[in-house]
Structure 1
Amino acid sequence: MAELKYIEVRGAREHNLKSIDVDIPRDQLVVITGLSGSGKSSLAFDTIYAEGQRRYVESLSAYARQFLDMMEKPDVDHISGLSPAISIEQKTTSKNPRSTVGTVTEIYDYLRLLFARAGTPYSPATGLPIEAQQVQDMVDRIMAMEEGTRGYLLAPIIRDRKGEYKKEFLELRKQGFQRVKVDGEFYELDEPPTLDKKFRHDIDVVVDRIVIREGMETRLADSLRTALDLADGIAILETAPSEGDPERHTFSEKFACPVSGFTIPEIEPRLFSFNAPFGACPDCDGLGVELFFDENLVVPDSTLKIYDGALAPWRKGKSPYFLQTIEAIAKHYEFDKNTKWKDLPAHVQQVFLYGSGEEEIPFRYDEGGRVYQVSRVFEGVIPNMERRYRETDSNWIREEFERYQNNRPCGACNGYRLREEALAVKIAGEHAGQVVQKSIREALDWVNSVPASLSNQKNEIARAILKEIGERLGFLNNVGLEYLSLSRNSGTLSGGESQRIRLASQIGSGLQGVLYVLDEPSIGLHQRDNGRLLTTLKNLRDAGNTVIVVEHDEEAIREADYVFDIGPGAGIHGGQVVSHGTPEHVTNDPASLT
């Protein structure tokens, strides 16, 4: 059968289309233009894309179809010459706070792989690269502990993974081990616990029970060797202090700092994922921000007097309790209660906001004739809200207090979202958190500079990964997004930006024979970036795809291979093909408004 040269549409009546017939040339860059509301999108999206998508989905198995949205069958007599269709609309991307430009474009997945395979861990304490430990180093470190310290030598065989592990328990018993520690509890291997395979578990094998004393080096070295072989080069000494939780000392044949004892368990891609508990900063859960009570929201107007409600949380119906509290503090610190907030001495402002510390203040309260006096420290407005926010079960109180909260970068990870161990791993002097905060242009320069800083062995590993990252960054650069950073929240992108990100990922997929339908991709673009966008669309076409663009932009219309002008008016006055042909033909056609 001869290859179809056209997508033939007959009798399209979707929305305001007046039963039109069009022949759209395949493997070309086709622009559909016309007034807003003239029926461009009805033809491109609701007819051609909908039918292409629907036919493709119908060809899948019934099982696969249940996961996909079936498109409505468009109101059209017949369409031939369709390919599987991909639409790139101006939907803003996900509002999920965990979704970033890096994760949407999948560049971050490659970066995680790069850092896991080619990164070098540095000690946060000394700033020096962390080297692998020998068994002898581990023995020396354990022997340096206090004599008489008791503990268990454990081999962590399962860490934070789902499963039942019946087979493993049986195997361990055959090998002569007697006890395991599962999810923090000890069990005999004769009666192992039954685990729920839906939950994540931690399993440590008890290799030896030790009491640190002279002359046990040989036994310790043997036990360490056994533990390291069982658990891929990691052993844990769990010592029981006189009180509190047991302390766990991790020993790794791979990475440990001899000075501070800082260890990195094993460097794997999930260590760099802020969406997995294994890699996310434990303080902010990988969101990079923390909530705090903001002084500026607690005192929104510093020209008010403290007695007239300068403290916003105390404004609610001037209660006698608050007013008497203010009077007592004013008397104790000797200031006039009618002073404006901004004129109060700084230490008095601090007392109101954060409390009086150790200093007791005499309070006198008169509750409808019952007078009582008490001397106590003053808690402070913000610590009081923090405490009640933590302790309350009431959503109403929570919402009330959230009015005084604001975001700031997380103090533990500085807004990098990752845990300390992940930020200790660096390539070319920078950790993963710093790389994603670069703009795409800077990240591209960084990727090009990486090979020079790696050893030959690591370059072999990193070459393919760097190529993938470089290509994807290059695509984003080519569609005029070089100013975005990979850590930018995708919920903050404009429609045009998110559309061009999807466009870049489509070019990266390198498909052929696909029908792409785009919705005004030039929106929000500077004129100089328009040319780069059109080059990108032509590259899609040259790869053997049909590209249909709904567009108002003159340059895009002039650069197209073929143009359809829909009109002549909007709504019921539109829905007809006024003119079609090459841009030159449409330009000279008197019927065409465009």
Structure 2
Amino acid sequence: ADYLVDIGPKAGIHGGEVVVAGYLEPLLSAKDNPSHSITLDYLRGDKKINVPNRRQGEKGSLKIRGGKAFNIKNLNIDIPLGRLICITGVSGSGKSTLMYEIIDKNLQARLERKHRSAKTYNCTTFTGSEYLGRSILIDQSPIGRTPRSNPATYTGTFTHIRDMFATSSEAKARGWKPGRFSFNVKGGRCEACQGNGVIAVEMHFLPTVFVECDVCEGKRFTKETLEVTFRKRNIHQVLEMTIEEAYNFFKDIPAIEERLKTLVDVGLSYLKLGQSATTLSGGEAQRVKIASELYKPHTQKTIYLLDEPTIGLHYEDVKVLINILQKLVDQGNTVMVIEHNLDLVKCADYVIDMGPEGGFGGGNLVAKGTPEEIIENQNSHTGKYLKKHL
């Protein structure tokens, strides 16, 4: 860029300010960074994402023979499990085809029983799924399509919060159960907006516009419901807390605290607990999904599939995301991502590089191995650029 405008310094309530604005070249060549811009720190090389230790040791592998779909002709590969794996390559090289049409389809058939029979899809043989118990695709689609969906409902936190309100003396005196504090069912919610807090106004030839409900004033609940409090806060006030505030508020209640901690760990402490799913970015929605996986006790080994999870993320957000993915792998799981971001690729335990080109010139396995092995391959476009990051 010619000119840089950096907004921050952090996210949500901790942001909203212009940290630095100026022509990029002078900012990069300056002796120091008086603005303390995190973006500039990364651009200047003062901060960087460090390469972790590579994982070794076999924990089984997925073996694909005769892979054939779209531009993939005859793919044979062993993919080690229990690792952070990156699928790389130029646009149209076959990355999505490998993940969705071969790996995901076969895992869904065998592990999730999504198809009528566990036949083999788009390859001659597919083995190794016996080492896994679950296959989860975590994309950037919304966590819900209505204003009632939010981080609290998606992670199951809201169920426990409603239980706490129902145990208050005020709620017991009125004979109210947890359902009274739900905006998904009749009873305690505002019926004018059906608990959405907003009214949808259909616009001809334009997207739907949401306006604040003038009955509940966006609070989602009836006045009677809001009279009941827990630690001097009503249900609306709790949902208006940031996740960071709610974490401290409920710190002594394990069922709530452990769920909120995972949201804090994935870097979403700035979001409101009841923030509408329709206002979350794709990256935020994806991290909410990852957070809900982090606290779940799983006895089965899981493989997580993600398609370009770093899209739209800042350097610092990428750093947080890498730590999250590493944590999932440390729990004994496998994480497989399609990725172009070289900061994530360099942190992978294993890289599968497709190509060498896109379309008809792609569909082949160009290189496989650790990032250090990829950069030694003269045929890999990824290796050429990755070398600068290692």
With the length of structure 1 as denominator, give the TM-score of the two structures: 0.50
Letter in 1 for 2:317: D
User: What residue number does 1:475 align with?
Assistant: 262
Aligned length in residues: 320
Whether 1:267 aligns to 2:317 is no
| 2:143–2:150 contact (8 Å) kept in structure 1 | no
Shift of 1:482: 2.1
Give me the CA root mean square deviation.
Answer: 2.7
Shift of 1:592: 1.4
Which of residues 230, 240, 247 is equivalent to 1:437? 240
**For structure 1, which runs of at least 5 residues remain unmatched after alignment?**
59-64, 122-129, 131-253, 256-264, 293-397, 452-465
Which of residues 299, 313, 324 is equivalent to 1:525? 313
The 1-side partners of 2:339 and 2:264 are apart by: 22
User: What residue number does 2:109 align with?
Assistant: 54
The 1-side partners of 2:209 and 2:76 are apart by: 57
| 1:500–1:521 contact (8 Å) kept in structure 2 | no
Whether 1:103 aligns to 2:153 is yes
| 1:99–1:489 contact (8 Å) kept in structure 2 | yes
**For structure 2, which runs of at least 5 residues remain unmatched after alignment?**
1-57, 383-390
Shift of 1:563: 0.8
- Post-superposition CA distance 1:118-138 (Å, at most 9, x none): x353xxxxxxxx9xxxxxxxx
| 2:140–2:286 contact (8 Å) kept in structure 1 | yes
Shift of 1:271: 0.7
Which secondary structure state, in structure 2, belongs to the residue aligned with residue 19 of structure 1?
A: strand
User: What residue number does 1:446 align with?
Assistant: 249
Which secondary structure state, in structure 2, belongs to the residue aligned with residue 13 of structure 1?
A: strand
User: What residue number does 1:10 align with?
Assistant: 65
The 2-side partners of 1:27 and 1:104 are apart by: 27
Which of residues 275, 280, 283 is equivalent to 1:496? 283
Which secondary structure state, in structure 1, belongs to the residue aligned with residue 295 of structure 2?
A: helix
The 1-side partners of 2:289 and 2:367 are apart by: 31
Shift of 1:56: 2.2
User: What residue number does 2:23 align with?
Assistant: none
Whether 1:29 aligns to 2:79 is no
Which of residues 276, 280, 284 is equivalent to 2:189? 280
Shift of 1:53: 0.7
- Post-superposition CA distance 1:328-364 (Å, at most 9, x none): xxxxxxxxxxxxxxxxxxxxxxxxxxxxxxxxxxxxx
In structure 2, relative to structure 1, the CA distance for the partners of 1:406 and 1:505 (3 Å cut) is closer
- Post-superposition CA distance 1:542-573 (Å, at most 9, x none): 11111111111111111111111111111111
User: What residue number does 1:555 align with?
Assistant: 343
Instruction: Give the structure with higher Rg (CA).
Output: 1
Whether 1:420 aligns to 2:197 is no
Which shows bigger deviation, 557-566 or 481-490? 481-490
In structure 2, relative to structure 1, the CA distance for the partners of 1:411 and 1:399 (3 Å cut) is closer
In structure 2, relative to structure 1, the CA distance for the partners of 1:513 and 1:79 (3 Å cut) is same
Letter in 1 for 2:183: F
Shift of 1:508: 2.0
The 2-side partners of 1:71 and 1:499 are apart by: 29
Shift of 1:399: 8.1
User: What residue number does 1:578 align with?
Assistant: 366
Which secondary structure state, in structure 1, belongs to the residue aligned with residue 260 of structure 2?
A: helix
| 1:566–1:576 contact (8 Å) kept in structure 2 | yes
User: What residue number does 2:14 align with?
Assistant: none
In structure 2, relative to structure 1, the CA distance for the partners of 1:69 and 1:475 (3 Å cut) is farther
